[in-house]
A and B are shown apart, each in its own frame.
Chain A
Amino acid sequence: MVAALRDAFAQKEFVVTAEIGPPKGTDISDLIQHVELLKDKVDGLNVTDNQSSVMRISSLAICRVILDHGGEPILQLTCRDRNRLALQSELLSAAVLGVHNVLCLTGDYVSVGDHPQAKPVFDLDSVQLLQTVGLLNQGKDLSGSDLQGKTDFFAGAVVTPEADPIEPQLAKFRKKIAAGAKFIQTQAIYDLDNFQRFMEQARKHDVKIMAGVVLLVSAGMARYMNKNVPGIFVPDKLVEEMAQAPKGKGIEAGIAIAGRMIRQLRDEKLCDGVHIMAIGKEGRVPDILEAAQ
């Protein structure tokens, strides 16, 4: 079995993935419902790895659940909770469970999550993790030993186009591509002019770019992200549009904004796809896709 996401990038002009956040606890009934709802509407379901440093079911377990339900999973793998032994072991485990897409990330620091006293690992960084995936694909591990059966991962990474200053971010972006990233998912973007400027740099490289789309549900959320989330910038115009939505209809305005952005990104061929993050509102992703038509 090969990574169907790799095929999607090869065959389609515009690839769509959606984010799935594993729950805290063993009840996955809502999650399965979302998987069933989304699996045929998107090219991949991207499963977070203890996102925001909050302890949950592992990304790998949910990736396997997605496969069982006929979806195409993308394993998110962060460097926060595992050393190089555990990272490689997780990757080999993913391969034998049929998961062949991996998104390599640094991971949030432990202090932002629900176990702030935990010992953070960060044995490897995201660039070194990408190199490690490359080695496993060649049948070698990080210590140079031969593997009995190699992996065939389609590896991706992330970038923050709104980072300030942008230069060190771009230098790391180049390293990620050199280290083997075939697709790059961006932090949430809202300002398409800024995004186009980023794409002028990104287009110099042989890599697929997926614009990150985070569903806005209220003007308050937009303001909160502007103030508190590094690398996210929601322009005043969009905050205003959200503020004008009738009470209780904020999410509808957010869906309209996300749909409009995706349409423009696709129709103007600004990038190779989008990654939709409808945090906690995964059930509304089909509405976003419909709004994008």
Chain B
Amino acid sequence: MIVAKRKPLEQIEAMLEGFNKILIVGCGTCVAVCMAGGEKEVELLAAELRMRSKLQGRPRTIDEMTVTRQCDKEYLDQLAKHVADYDVILSTGCGAGVQFLAERYDDKIVLPALNTLFIGVAEGPGIWSQRCMACSECILDQTGGICPMTLCAKNLLNGPCGGTNHGKCEVDGQKDCAWTLIYRRLEKLGRLDLLEKIQPPKDYGAMTKPGRFTHEAFQQAEQHEE
């Protein structure tokens, strides 16, 4: 899932400066799971903003709505009858959600309440870590299911650098060396022969931004539309 964390309240307040009618829109998918922008977090953010209003003697309207997903048009449509009542929409979606919301309501100011961090997993309660950088050409079959593009700071494809330090990384001694992990996993799987194969340079052309993909089943329909 997409992992994000909320921006500091001061930063959010600075963005909201001068706006009196604020609609906070939450997202019920990834950012809800990572406790950054779901219904509960929207409730908390709204309460904090209202408290500030009160303390500063500055009345503002702060309302809340959380949709199932901000990255799907059908869910954004549900907001249509409400948005006209507000000066600004504060989205607690990921960067994709914020943009889709801004695109759907392009006459409204849409602001981001979160910083989007990475595609990751829940390691434990309240702990998430990155696992994939969406490089468009998965090589996990070659590396024992551990991604050097993501877990090695230098995205090295052919083994560890000289900075590997007793299984840790030179960049951050708290983090594991991806290539030590890969070695141990391949050893466990009896596939150490994979370590001997020279991996060719990565095709970064496959990652050219912005990415776009149409499912085969829908390609004909899309062409027809065009």
- Contacts from A to B (Cβ < 8 Å): 79-80, 84, 106-109, 111-112, 120, 122-128, 131, 142, 158-160, 163-165, 167-169, 171-172, 174-175, 178-179, 187, 230-231
The verdict on B28 contacting chain A, using a C-beta distance below 8 Å, is no
Q: Could you tell me the distance in whole angstroms from the C-beta of B215 to the nearest C-beta in chain A?
A: 31
Instruction: Tell me which of B158, B187, B196 contacts A125 (CB under 8 A).
Output: B158
Q: Does B87 contact A (CB under 8 A)?
A: no
- Interface of B, helix, strand, loop or mixed by DSSP: loop
Q: Are B158 and A128 in contact (CB under 8 A)?
A: yes
- Kindly list chain A residues whose C-beta atoms are within 8 Å of the C-beta of B198: 127-128, 131, 175, 178-179
Q: Which of A79, A84, A165 has the most CB of B within 10 A?
A: A165
Contacting pair B154 A109 (CB below 8 A): yes
Residues in B with CB closer than 8 Å to A165 are 167, 180, 183
Is the pair A108, B167 in contact by a Cβ cutoff of 8 Å? no
Shortest C-beta distance, B101 to chain A (Å), equals 29
Chain A positions within 8 Å of B167 at CB level: 164-165
Q: 9 tightest A-B contacts by CB?
A: A172-B159, A230-B165, A127-B158, A168-B183, A106-B161, A171-B195, A122-B154, A125-B156, A160-B162
Q: Taking CB as reference atom, which chain A residue is nearest B155?
A: A122
Known: A165-B167, A167-B183. 9 other contacts (CB 8 A): A109-B154, A112-B171, A120-B153, A123-B201, A125-B157, A163-B164, A164-B166, A187-B162, A231-B164
Are B163 and A168 closer than 8 Å at their CB atoms?
no
How far is B204's CA from A84's CA once the two chains are assembled, in angstroms?
11
Q: What distance in Å separates the Cβ of A97 from its nearest Cβ neighbour in chain B?
A: 25
Pairwise interchain contact A230-B156, C-beta atoms closer than 8 A: no
In angstroms, Cα B23 to Cα A242, docked, is: 68
| Complex CA distance for A127 and B160, rounded to whole angstroms | 11
**Can you offer 8 A-B residue contacts whose CB atoms are under 8 A?**
A84-B201, A106-B154, A109-B163, A120-B153, A123-B201, A127-B198, A179-B198, A231-B163
CB neighbours (8 Å) of A111 from chain B are 171
CB distance from A171 to the nearest CB of B (A): 4
On chain B, which size bracket covers the interface? 20 to 34
CA–CA, A128 and B155, complex, Å: 13
Q: Which residue of B lies closest to A105 (CB)?
A: B162
Judge whether A163 and B160 touch: CB under 8 Å.
yes
Which A residues are CB-close (under 8 A) to B161? 106, 126
Contacting pair A109 B158 (CB below 8 A): no
B170 within 8 A of A: yes
Are B158 and A230 in contact, with the CB atoms below 8 A?
no
Q: Are B157 and A128 in contact (CB under 8 A)?
A: yes
Give chain B nearest CB distance to A176 CB in angstroms. Answer: 9
> In the complex, A127→B158 CA distance in Å?
7
What is the CA–CA distance of A109 and B200 in the complex, to the nearest angstrom?
A: 21
Say yes or no: A112 contacts B170, CB within 8 Å.
Answer: yes
Q: How far is the CB of A120 from chain B (nearest CB, A)?
A: 7
* Nearest B residue to A128, CB-CB: B201
Structural contact, B196 and A172, CB atoms closer than 8 A: no
* B195/A230 in contact, CB under 8 A: no
